Structure 1
Amino acid sequence: MSRWIEQWDPEDERFWNEGGGKRIARRNLAFSVLAEHIGFSIWSLWSVMVLFMGPAYGVDPAGKFFLVAMPTLVGGIMRVPYTFAVARFGGRNWTVVSALLLLVPTVTAAFVMKPGVSYTTLMVVAALTGVGGGNFASSMTNINSFYPLREKGWALGLNAGGGNIGVPVIQLVGLLVIGTAGAAHPRVVLAVYIPLIVVAATLCALSMDNLAPVRNDTGAALDAARDPHTWIMSFLYIGTFGSFIGYSFAFGLVLQNQFGRTPLQAADLTFIGPLLGSLIRPVGGRLADRYGGARITLWNFLAMAVATGVVVLASERKSLALFLVGLIALFVLTGVGNGSTYKMIPGIFQREAEARGLAGEEAAAHGRRLSGAAMGLIGAVGALGGVGINLAFRESFLSRATGTPAFVSFLAYYALCYAVTWAVYLRRPARAADGAGRTAPAGTAVHARV
């Protein structure tokens, strides 16, 4: 049976409400969340595997931080081709293929995960899990095409939040395995996920659709890459999603190395922050729909800087309780910021279209065209922020045996993100020199509503 939809216009409210558009979009969203959820679990697999790596593996703390950074790096790079695969092969088709590709790193890890394996082999196998990071880009690009602008914040937040929950879920699975079978049985985690991957791919093949109007557009990719807002939003997304994925991968290692927790004690705590950060992401999107993504993003970065200050204080005082409060608050705020920044992206490009004189469906089509391409680039750069966080922790523990210097650098970055958000998207536009009330040709007047 063909799963191609030839006509799709979600901005037409009659089509959306009476023509089955909403029902079809929700069905595709549900199964997109399922596939992306498992993709995130596999992408973060090595944040769990390192908890099973005792002294017999011969890997020091710095080596473990580098090991968990590798999937983040590869996943960030993979997001670019995954973005364009949706239009090349179809959203449903690529979701099925990308889900099945998750079997490669999972099955491979099952063969090599044992004491005595070389560090190089571990690095290569960890790099393979980067395909799970690519799933996010294709999933978000696909769902972006299904929903009207007025509901993108909620839909994209729900899609991403459901995917992000894959991080704490696999950490909970790891905790259960360590607590029951013991730290010598990492393959049990893999045995749980291999059949889940097959089930998810099968359900997506049976239930999802391809959108024929969505076609690869090299010009859109080039236009998005040339637009300065693509790179400004990439910078902000490093602060939100880069923080979420970086902290998710490093949390357990920081607890072990800075506070002396055992693998089981660390696993008891590591899932809490990613879980809350994932659950709150749709709320960030909904708040952005109501109040504007730029406003929510601005105040969120201020709150992130404050929470990081709490973490720095806790690190200096060696207070585990205060550290957990600060870091879990950071996870929640990264979730809110992830939702609000992704809401901004389609709005920015549609406002630009309107500023050029386009209106109605023409402006909406322009926004979908460029925002879909931009999401891949922004998602890729944002994911690379997770690499930076893990490398910062690695250097911090090597030089000072504490994560405090790394957190100080993160605080400075959030302060800079706050300033950029205000200056580009919320600052009142300057008045013309003649006092007639004309605005300067800055983007602020156009983008303050995104």
Structure 2
Amino acid sequence: MSTLVSSLAPATTAGRRRPITDWRPEDPEFWRTTGAPVARRNLYVSIFAEHVGFSVWSLWSVTVLFLGPAYGIDPAGKFLLTAVPAALGAVLRLPYTLAVARFGGRNWTIVSALLLLVPAVPMALLLEPGVSYPTLMVLACLTGVGGGNFASSMANINLFFPDRLKGRALGLNAGGGNLGVPVVQLVGLAVLATAGAAYPRLVPAVYLPLIVLAALAAARWLDNVPGARNEPGALRAAARDRHTWVMSLLYVGTFGSFIGFGFAFGQVLQLQFHDRFPTPVDAAWLTFLGPLVGSLVRPLGGQLADRLGGARVTFWNFVAMAAGAGLVLYAARDRSLPLYLAGFLSLFVFSGIGNGSTYKMIPAIFRARAAAEAELTGDPEAAQRRARRRSGALIGIAGAVGASGGVLVNVAFRQSFLTSGTADAAYLAFIAWYALCFAVTWVVYLRPAPGRLPGV
């Protein structure tokens, strides 16, 4: 008992949290006696706050299922309603990443949690037949603030853990956040099954107390890490690096697919198999399964990358995603619901695995470059410092660009249904994108060639 009290002493006094003035997670003794319990506390609260943020970001993936004939919105209009949250979420990821060092992780988590009330409150008040489409577009766009929470949460948790434990901590944080997508769809299903499709406002209303609880939990149990700062010039240096844009392209294919399919799956399922799913409740029973399995397998992608190499896992993952999209295309044309569901679930599984493996590739790229740079300069410490700086900036840029894939997925579905009445053209576009991704992965990171980075 005395050991526990002493280990928490730097963070608490008489049961009250005290600001951290010294943080040295790479020091084994400091980590054992002081750092580990504080870091775990911050991780658990961060997972909850990020989970709520992801749920708010995903509100329209289930809200569109409530918008029946009384709302007068065609399928193309509904796909736009699920595209605009992804767009704002992508735009906000970079400034949210920088906000952690600028304002402090605890302070920004409180602010970013309270910002979730901006879309949730008006949605709880205004969602009913007769509301104008421009109003719905504004409300849908505002939910994009939840997409920024992922970036700031990951940047914050990254500060708390030593390098040897970052992978697991970030994997838990990301997976817990991603689970917000299937959970909000289960909430929507519960509302549909109990109150009926006439009460879409109940879904955001459920999250109002959870948003307030997330802000209060952050104020009570989170900490600001001293000395955190945004490295001057890191973003510019990362933006000039070709690996930043290669990894951004790959992340569009993995995370962009996950969030895009998570937003669109319910609509597509109803449109493709309307005879089997004539009501929103019928579709909602299945739509949460894809995001659920995609979230749960994300840590597996990181573990496989640790054992086999991130580039190798990412390459074969994109091959599998192209095959999955091909199966979905075949099943849609053959009107085979079992094959269609199997294909779509495989896309969610492999997008989740790819999320983990691409995230693992980023620090591996810069570790390999730092080793090569250290041989030339004879200063390994400076090389490692530059590698960490650019790695963090690349994660911020790739996260922002990757989230835009959610927009592209919904726009592809919208355009495909508008022009042909089916989603076939969208599936062909997905196959082509995944083929581009596995070709790029091979050429840049796997093909035997002079200057190729080892160990990525």
Tell me the TM-score normalised to structure 2 length.
Answer: 0.92
Distance 1:142 1:351 in 2: 25
1:242 paired with 2:256, answer yes
- Residue 403 of structure 2 is aligned with which of 383, 390, 405? 383
Q: How much has 1:217 moved relative to structure 2? A: 2.4
- Residue 337 of structure 1 is aligned with which of 350, 354, 358? 354
Amino acid at match of 2:447: R
SS at match of 2:297: helix
Deviations 1:192-212 (A, max 9, x none): 100001111111221112112
| CA contact 1:284–1:339 (8 Å) conserved in 2 | yes
- Residue 208 of structure 2 is aligned with which of 183, 194, 203? 194
| CA contact 1:145–1:368 (8 Å) conserved in 2 | no
1:321 paired with 2:335, answer no
Q: How much has 1:9 moved relative to structure 2? A: 3.8
- Residue 10 of structure 1 is aligned with which of 22, 25, 41? 25
- Residue 173 of structure 2 is aligned with which of 159, 162, 165? 159
Describe the shift of the 1:325–1:399 C-alpha distance in structure 2 as closer, same or farther (beyond 3 A).
Answer: same
Deviations 1:269-295 (A, max 9, x none): 100000000011112122223332222
User: Who is 1:44 aligned against?
Assistant: 58
SS at match of 2:233: helix
Distance 1:146 1:384 in 2: 28
| CA contact 2:17–2:220 (8 Å) conserved in 1 | no
Q: How much has 1:346 moved relative to structure 2? A: 2.2
| CA contact 1:153–1:339 (8 Å) conserved in 2 | no
1:34-433 equivalence runs, <5 A: 34-260=48-274, 261=277, 262-357=279-374, 362-430=382-450
Q: How much has 1:241 moved relative to structure 2? A: 0.2
Distance 1:230 1:379 in 2: 11
1:449 paired with 2:455, answer yes
User: Who is 2:12 aligned against?
Assistant: none
Deviations 1:202-231 (A, max 9, x none): 112211121122102231121111111111
SS at match of 1:218: coil
User: Who is 2:6 aligned against?
Assistant: none
| CA contact 2:58–2:181 (8 Å) conserved in 1 | yes
Aligned length: 435
Distance 1:139 1:24 in 2: 16
Q: How much has 1:359 moved relative to structure 2? A: 6.4
Distance 1:123 1:282 in 2: 34
Describe the shift of the 1:136–1:333 C-alpha distance in structure 2 as closer, same or farther (beyond 3 A).
Answer: same
Deviations 1:288-327 (A, max 9, x none): 2333222211111111111111111101101111100000
Describe the shift of the 1:248–1:115 C-alpha distance in structure 2 as closer, same or farther (beyond 3 A).
Answer: same
Deviations 1:43-87 (A, max 9, x none): 010111111111010100000001110000011001111010000
Distance 2:162 2:311 in 1: 19
| CA contact 2:128–2:201 (8 Å) conserved in 1 | no
| CA contact 1:354–1:363 (8 Å) conserved in 2 | yes
Distance 2:347 2:106 in 1: 34
- Residue 43 of structure 2 is aligned with which of 20, 26, 29? 29
| CA contact 2:294–2:352 (8 Å) conserved in 1 | yes
| CA contact 2:373–2:383 (8 Å) conserved in 1 | no
Amino acid at match of 1:8: W
Amino acid at match of 1:215: R
Amino acid at match of 1:33: I
Distance 2:147 2:369 in 1: 30
SS at match of 1:217: coil
Describe the shift of the 1:72–1:241 C-alpha distance in structure 2 as closer, same or farther (beyond 3 A).
Answer: same
Describe the shift of the 1:276–1:318 C-alpha distance in structure 2 as closer, same or farther (beyond 3 A).
Answer: same
Amino acid at match of 1:250: A
SS at match of 1:5: coil
SS at match of 2:333: helix
Gaps in structure 1 of 5+ consecutive residues: 431-441
SS at match of 1:247: helix
Describe the shift of the 1:387–1:3 C-alpha distance in structure 2 as closer, same or farther (beyond 3 A).
Answer: farther
Describe the shift of the 1:42–1:247 C-alpha distance in structure 2 as closer, same or farther (beyond 3 A).
Answer: same
Distance 1:364 1:23 in 2: 27
Q: How much has 1:2 moved relative to structure 2? A: 7.1
| CA contact 1:46–1:68 (8 Å) conserved in 2 | yes
Distance 1:157 1:266 in 2: 30
| CA contact 2:179–2:292 (8 Å) conserved in 1 | yes
Q: How much has 1:428 moved relative to structure 2? A: 2.1
| CA contact 1:149–1:347 (8 Å) conserved in 2 | no
Distance 1:332 1:359 in 2: 42
Amino acid at match of 2:57: W
Moved more, 204-213 or 313-322: 204-213
Tell me the TM-score normalised to structure 1 length.
Answer: 0.93
| CA contact 1:75–1:133 (8 Å) conserved in 2 | yes
Deviations 1:366-414 (A, max 9, x none): 3332222222211110010110010000011111111111011101111
Gaps in structure 2 of 5+ consecutive residues: 1-15
Moved more, 358-367 or 210-219: 358-367
